[in-house]
A and B are shown apart, each in its own frame.
Chain A
């Protein structure tokens, strides 16, 4: 089995998948770090000071000014204001300058769309490319059961997702450290905010080190990526062309992003996988898209989708006639 997994890894490496992904990450990262650096610069210019308290206070005031015209985002904004105020009152800098803080923000923002997209690049043609190349005929006429072949592909997917996430973390650290310096791993981060009925609940708030927070974030990002990867994997089996699989998955992700902002009154939408991808929000204490969703609930829903997709994948693959 290990050999089969290595075969799959060899093909992925041969297709230069990891290289392509690394290049995409590098290009985007450079843009983001530059934007971030510029943002910091303009703030400094505007405020004439670099004290984070001043900056955060200004941010809070800016949000407060947007409150009256925020419409449906009002609640969201209020929670953000309360949270920032909490940071301010406890003298904890929510954005200690440095690479770790950048990574924290970057992971938080990319976990729902960017990382899954990268994972899709790998997952979506794991099976369908074998079919379009015709190599599946060679693969399936070996003295190895179809179950083993698909399992080796799935394990290769799990490993690839892990690797992509690692490359992502490493590159964002290296690039942002060049820009902002590498300090701040042990900076304090407040976590455990929860939102109950549009109100910020601070009873569970505690202080963790930034490295711990980042590791937890990556754990969640990994899980999200795995869910998206598994679903893409299933589409890769069900659909003949990688492009169709990619399109379908992309549509789901984007629909999820749109739905998350408007499903608050459609209660049963909380069982859709794409609405549950915002795992990070629970940890950072942002209001969930639908009242009553919790981290445990979302994890369970996503796990159910993942298991379902795997079951469908294996059932279809093991029975399918290859023409």
Chain B
């Protein structure tokens, strides 16, 4: 072995050693004794993504949007996107659903800059909200007083207005599809009561939505009215694949009906 080679490698390693020592020193200096104040952030002046020929769908809302209960994890929103793709549409799809989300949390989420930016680029917004407000933890069911429900409804409707207002502000052109509630407890003992509550809830939702030109109320109550267990997941609350498919069918039909013009 040439001692030249050894000498070269040794010298090289020594240089590398100094480099890393410098890096370590810099880190220590920066993080332990760092006094360099927060440097100014560059204002992000990126142009919004150029309008592409993609049809952009944003899904907002709770576990239904997320797709809980669907073994494929797509949820109705995923199936809508699938159906449109099958119909030959060029789809860009973002699912921002978070399970357990209530209307107040969604209203909060709407304040995020990035959400606003994304909605701004969207052609269609899909949304399920309110289910958690009404059914949260099943507590409401056990003490179904009319006053209690009325209070929940009022709060919910206020938030819904905030949400829809925010969407309209970000993007006055996007079509907003708000899916109504179904009654998963229709076949239980208290079914008659819960059904009445859900129907009233849906009605008021529809009334609120009517004030926004681009918003469409998509009923789901009827889809789960008959033979409900066939379309529910084993938790008897969330829809299963079949249930989601039926919901998606409806929404996709509505979107296709617009011909991509919003």
Contacts and interface: CB of A to CB of B under 8 A. Distances in A.
Interface of A: 5-6, 9-10, 13-14, 18, 46-49, 51, 53-54, 56-58, 61, 64-65, 68, 85, 88-92, 158-163, 165-166, 188, 192, 203-207, 212, 215-223, 282-283, 295-296, 299
Contacts of A64: 98
B118 A53 contact: yes
Contacts of A212: 26
B145 interface: no
Contact of B26 (A163, A206, A215): A215
B17 interface: yes
A281 to B, nearest CB: 12
A57 B16 contact: no
Interface of B: 1, 3, 5-7, 9-10, 12-14, 16-17, 19-28, 30-32, 34, 36-39, 41-44, 46, 49, 54, 56, 66, 90-100, 112-115, 117-118
A195 to B, nearest CB: 13
A89 B114 contact: yes
A80 to B, nearest CB: 15
Nearest to A85: B112
Contacts of B54: 48-49
3 interchain residue pairs of minimum CB distance: A91-B44, A219-B23, A219-B24
Contact of B13 (A53, A92, A159, A282): A159
A160 B13 CA distance: 7
B94 A53 contact: no
B9 A9 contact: yes
Given A159-B14, A215-B19, 20 more contacts: A6-B6, A48-B54, A48-B91, A48-B93, A53-B118, A64-B98, A65-B99, A68-B100, A88-B112, A91-B46, A159-B16, A162-B13, A162-B17, A166-B19, A206-B37, A206-B38, A207-B39, A219-B20, A220-B27, A222-B23
Best-buried of B7, B10, B27, B99 by chain A (most CB within 10 Å): B27
Contacts of B92: 47-49
A13 B24 CA distance: 27
Nearest to A58: B94
